[in-house]
Amino acid sequence: MTLLELDNVTAWYGPVQVLDGVSLSVPDNGAVGILGANGAGKTTTLRAISGAVRTGGRITYDGRDIRGLHPEQVAKLGIAHVPEGRGTLGQLTVRENLRVGAYLRKDRKAVAEDLDYCLELFPNLKDRISSSASALSGGEQQMLAVARAFMARPRLLLLDEASLGLAPSTAKAVYEAIRRLRLESGIAMLIVEQNANLAFTLVDSAIVLETGRNVLSGSSAELKGMDEIRRAYLGG
Amino acid sequence: MNRMSKLLSNTWVRVAVVVVVAALLLIAPLVLPVFANQTLTRMGVYAVAVLGLNIIMGYTGQVMLGQIFFLGVGAYVTAYGVNNDWNIVVTFFAACILPGLLGLVIALAAARLGGLAIAMVTIALPIIGVPLAKRLTDLTGGSQGTSARFSSAPDWTGLDNDQWQYYMVMVITVIGFVLAYNLVRGKFGRAMAIVRDNEAVARSIGISPYRYKVMAFTIASIFGGASGFLYMVAVQYTSPETMSFAHSISLLAAMVVGGAASIAGSLIGGVYYVLVPQVTNAIDPTVTAISQGIILVAVLFILPGGLVSLPRVIRRLTRKRDTAVATSPQTTSPMHQDAGQAAEGPETERQGQS
Amino acid sequence: MDTFIQLVIDGLALGSVYAALALAIVLVNQSTGLINFSQGAMAVLSAYFAYVLIGWGFPTILAILGSIVVSFLLGAIVERLLIRRFEGGDPDTAVVVTIGLLTLFTGIAGWIWGYNNRQFPSLFPLETVDILGAVVSVRSIGTTLTIVGIMVVLQLLFQGTKLGLALRAVAINPSSAAYSGLPVGRLLMIGWGLAAALGAVAGALVAPALTLTPGMMDTALVYALAAVIIGGLNSPLGAVVAAWGIGVLENLAAVYVPFIGYDLKIAVPFIILFVVLLVRPQGLFGRKVVVRV
């Protein structure tokens, strides 16, 4: 079953067109990567799904067209977005950030359970539960951003460059936790990543964008075998 | 419309237009009734005040709410000079320099805090200025105000007082506008524009936003003082009421309605400041404030570039109809921001808070 | 000593009115990043609502509560219809809009109710009590306690409720908050509504002393802005403390500094302000805001 499908999606920032026909599909429980250089339109693709940019084409989620919805409406449908730059709420504490993540949920008991699960998944956060998010390290902030998105109990997680600005070992740890999250929760994921090596530890398949359109797609194994992918994104 | 603009772009036609307008302005007071001359004179007075406000607000992007205070100080200095038999030229320069110095001191403190601090501090100027003027009775005549008769027409001219005052105000207004025109088109003006558009960029190319804000503020207050001198030429009397809070807001409204960051807009602002209350007061004095509020809000919504942008907007609309091609409209707003972007909603992350 | 105590308590009451308006300004600034210069004019309209209700025979307290509700709606509508278009753009343009609203609301009040002073009944009895030998008016004590009460309620709202958490989240980062499903637009309306409701309290507190006129809050607005700068734009507690400080100091200065007197006491906050701006530009309680490119 396909959960999310993008068909020839275009997007503009004011008069500037940044997406020029992006297509992809994310199956239920699947994980798909979006690879590409800076400015290829990876982040914009996620923002298009969330309704944060003006968009053309067709975006189908769970059988319905969601193009043109506002970000908060998209969130209500079960899509959580960890934006570029993490979007953690600096002056709020870690606990408050997680509570904001669970804003749409009414089931207090389940929310409390999920909060415990997050703290078990990211033990660093447990020690910092009452400190403000801006006091966290970069890696901890990234973990908080992922945990906050999980607190919404989404069906689909949009993850934008979770490794950005992190030390390699930290980035690896973050991806390890996300992989565990995927296995244990079954949440489908769409992941933007500059570091293709990291991405392939998580995703089953990926597309490659160049100047706002698809140039390649395939399973992780296929893509890893391609010379041009290796040269461009895998460092040899 | 197109033929019209082509015609206007011809240099000779432009020169001819300027000559005709100048001639009309020179002849007008000789044929118009006294009341019309006085009205035109007062438009010149406030055009200079609006022009000063435009330099700090329109061109440098710092909301300033106390311009009327500098007009008031200039008027009081003029009255004091005249009543103490200072030379008229000395009086004029004192009326410019003293408000300028006050403006400098205020700006040095207010410009330190970025963002809206200048607006928040300068809104207090008229509110402090009025009781202060009432208190300093020896200098200002207190609540009674003070008059200074120095702008009666000399006998050799053969002019009436209103005509003589008209010419005095017009000469100084024209000089002020020429100076301001050169200022905003020169290096200084470009630096101010960079400070307005992006302070970080300004800093990165060695322009100190703080220093330019202070300088622009000082220049604005000098123009304010000069308009105070002109006010005394035209009215020959001032009181604490001259610099009331409501007048201060009206001056800002006049600038926005005329057109921010526009020399011609300042002139329109002066006309608006005098004309609209005159009309609304004639209808019903209680509608003056509300109509001013409606006009200001309406202009911000419909015509953010002010009345001066009206020909441009009309031309764009008619061109659109001619060619039926939808080009992306370039709107100018009071502070030169892209109105379309503003409408996109809560996209931008608030600066420095996350 | 008696005079001193009396002046301090009256100063606190005076400061409390500025504090209510200052809190409203901080609230709007926290939720939308704007300074609402029409906050005082909106408070004047609120006071006129209450005045109308009193005229219809409602008891003062009910009339004030009614005007608080109406003001909440007015604030929310103003945000939705007039301010929304300018949010996220250049803050200076939006500020000019609020200045336009200041003129508009003052004009509306003047157009409907005229410019004559109107009597507004006090919520508190005009009695005095004896505190340490000083004669203190019940009104002053009541006004001050009202603000303390409002502070407590606001603190509970923002720290203890889901709505408060959501309001804070939207204030910090609206686009990120939207990704968690927070209804950003509605929360902004609530923020403006709460601010207008606070303004209504300020209006009801100040109207009995100053009598009701369209320009009644102009001076209070200036005091409130000074308090907001001194206290720090992002600190509600700072704004209230600064407002009290201003109220007390100006009252003392009016009596003990002969040149200042009652007519020039409005200069006091600005003398303080100048010193603060030169020494500590982020305000006494505010955190330094780092502006990114």
* Alpha carbons B218 and B177: distance in angstroms, whole number: 17
Choose from C162, C180, C187, C290 for mutation: most chain A CBs within 10 A. C180
Phi, psi (deg, nearest 5) at residue B151: -115, 30
Return the minimum-mean-pLDDT range out of A32-41, B59-68, B311-320, C108-117: B311-320
Specify the DSSP element, H or E, that contains A24: strand A16-27
- What is the average pLDDT across C15-31? 90
* Alpha carbons B133 and B139: distance in angstroms, whole number: 8
Between A236 and C139, residue with greater pLDDT: C139
Residue B194, amino acid: I
Q: Hey, what are B65's tokens?
A: 């709410």
**What is the structure's pLDDT at A235?**
58
Find chain B residues with C-beta within 8 A of A89's C-beta.
Answer: 354
Per-residue pLDDT tens for B161-198? 999 999 999 999 999 999 999 999 999 999 999 999 88
Q: How far is CA B251 from the centre of its chain?
A: 7
**What is the structure's pLDDT at C134?**
80
- What is the average pLDDT across C258-269? 84
Return the minimum-mean-pLDDT range out of A165-179, B69-83, B111-125, C176-190: B111-125
**What is the structure's pLDDT at A32?**
96
* Alpha carbons B23 and B44: distance in angstroms, whole number: 17
* Alpha carbons B68 and A214: distance in angstroms, whole number: 60
- CB C239 within 8 Å of CB C227: yes
Number of CB pairs < 8 Å for B and C?
207
Q: Is A88 on the interface with B (CB under 8 A)?
A: yes
Q: How far is CA C14 from the centre of its chain?
A: 12
Q: Which of B338, B340, B354 has the CB atom closest to A90's CB atom?
A: B354
Task: Look at B352 and C292 and tell me if their CB atoms are within 8 Å.
Answer: yes
Q: Is C102 on the interface with B (CB under 8 A)?
A: yes
Return the minimum-mean-pLDDT range out of A23-37, A44-58, A100-114, B305-319: B305-319
Q: How far is CA C92 from the centre of its chain?
A: 21
* Alpha carbons B132 and C279: distance in angstroms, whole number: 26
**What is the structure's pLDDT at B329?**
41
| Whether this model's pTM surpasses 0.90 | no
DSSP for chain C, written as a single string = -HHHHHHHHHHHHHHHHHHHHHHHHHHHHHHHS---TTHHHHHHHHHHHHHHHHHTT--HHHHHHHHHHHHHHHHHHHIIIIIGGGTTS-HHHHHHHHHHHHHHHHHHHHHHH-SS-B----SS-S-EEEETTEEEEHHHHHHHHHHHHHHHHHHHHHHHSHHHHHHHHHHH-HHHHHHTT--HHHHHHHHHHHHHHHHHHHHHHHHHHH-B-TTTTHHHHHHHHHHHHHH-TT-HHHHHHHHHHHHHHHHHHHHH-TTTTTTTTTHHHHHHHHHHHHH-TT-SSPPPPPPP-
Is 60 exceeded by the pLDDT of residue C272? yes
Choose from B335, B341, B347 for mutation: most chain C CBs within 10 A. B335
Phi, psi (deg, nearest 5) at residue A162: -65, -15
**What is the structure's pLDDT at C287?**
54
Find chain A residues with C-beta within 8 A of B349's C-beta.
Answer: 85
Task: Look at C176 and A103 and tell me if their CB atoms are within 8 Å.
Answer: no
Per-residue pLDDT tens for B42-82? 999 999 999 999 999 999 999 999 999 999 999 999 999 99
Q: Which of A15, A85, A90 has the CB atom closest to B353's CB atom?
A: A90
**What is the structure's pLDDT at B9?**
67
- What is the average pLDDT across C50-61? 95
DSSP for C86-107, written as a single string = GTTS-HHHHHHHHHHHHHHHHH
Is 70 exceeded by the pLDDT of residue C71? yes
Chain A interface, Cβ < 8 Å to C: 50, 52, 70-72, 75-76, 80-83, 87-92, 96, 99-101, 103-104, 148-149, 152
Spatial CB neighbours of A10, under 8 Å, sequence gap ≥ 6: A17, A19, A20, A21, A22, A55, A56, A57, A212
Return mean pLDDT, chain C: 88
**What is the structure's pLDDT at B142?**
87
**Sorting pLDDT into bands at 50, 70 and 90, what band is C265?**
confident
- What is the average pLDDT across A124-137? 92
- What is the average pLDDT across C179-202? 94
Residue whose entry in the numeric block shows the structure tokens 């908050």 = C177
* Alpha carbons C64 and A12: distance in angstroms, whole number: 49
Q: Which of C175, C178, C180 has the CB atom closest to A101's CB atom?
A: C180
* Chain B residues 15-34 within an 8 A CB cutoff of chain C: none
Choose from C104, C279, C288 for mutation: most chain B CBs within 10 A. C104
Residue A65, amino acid: D
Q: Is B348 on the interface with A (CB under 8 A)?
A: no
Q: Hey, what are C55's tokens?
A: 């005229």
- CB A67 within 8 Å of CB A58: yes
Which of A195-209, C50-64, C236-250 has maximum average pLDDT? C50-64
Q: Which of C97, C172, C267 has the CB atom closest to B353's CB atom?
A: C172
Residue whose entry in the numeric block shows the structure tokens 């802005």 = C225
Residue in chain C nearest A70 by alpha carbon: C178
Minimal CA separation from C185 to chain A, in Å = 10
**Sorting pLDDT into bands at 50, 70 and 90, what band is C195?**
very high
**What is the structure's pLDDT at B267?**
94
* Alpha carbons C46 and B189: distance in angstroms, whole number: 44
Q: Which residues of chain B have pLDDT under 50?
A: 324-333, 336-354
| pLDDT-above-70 percentage for chain A | 98
Chain A neighbors (3+ CB pairs < 8 Å): B, C
Spatial CB neighbours of B16, under 8 Å, sequence gap ≥ 6: none
Per DSSP, the three-state class of A215 is strand
What single DSSP character describes residue C79? I
Task: Look at A14 and B353 and tell me if their CB atoms are within 8 Å.
Answer: no
Q: Which strands make up the sheet holding A54-61, listed edge to edge?
A: A16-27, A2-13, A54-61, A64-65
Specify the DSSP element, H or E, that contains A3: strand A2-13
- Return the beta strands (E) in chain B as ranges: 146-147, 237-238
* Alpha carbons A142 and A164: distance in angstroms, whole number: 9
**What is the structure's pLDDT at C136?**
85
- CB B329 within 8 Å of CB B315: no
* Domain ranges within chain B, ordered by starting residue: 24-243
Residue in chain C nearest B117 by alpha carbon: C229
**What is the structure's pLDDT at B351?**
36
- CB C196 within 8 Å of CB C75: yes
Minimal CA separation from C151 to chain B, in Å = 23
Our CA angle for B68, B69, B73, nearest 5°, is: 115
**What is the structure's pLDDT at B347?**
35
Is 90 exceeded by the pLDDT of residue C288? no
In 3-state terms chain B splits into helix, strand, coil percentages (rounded to 5) of 75, 0, 25
Residue whose entry in the numeric block shows the structure tokens 């909060």 = A115
Return mean pLDDT, chain A: 91
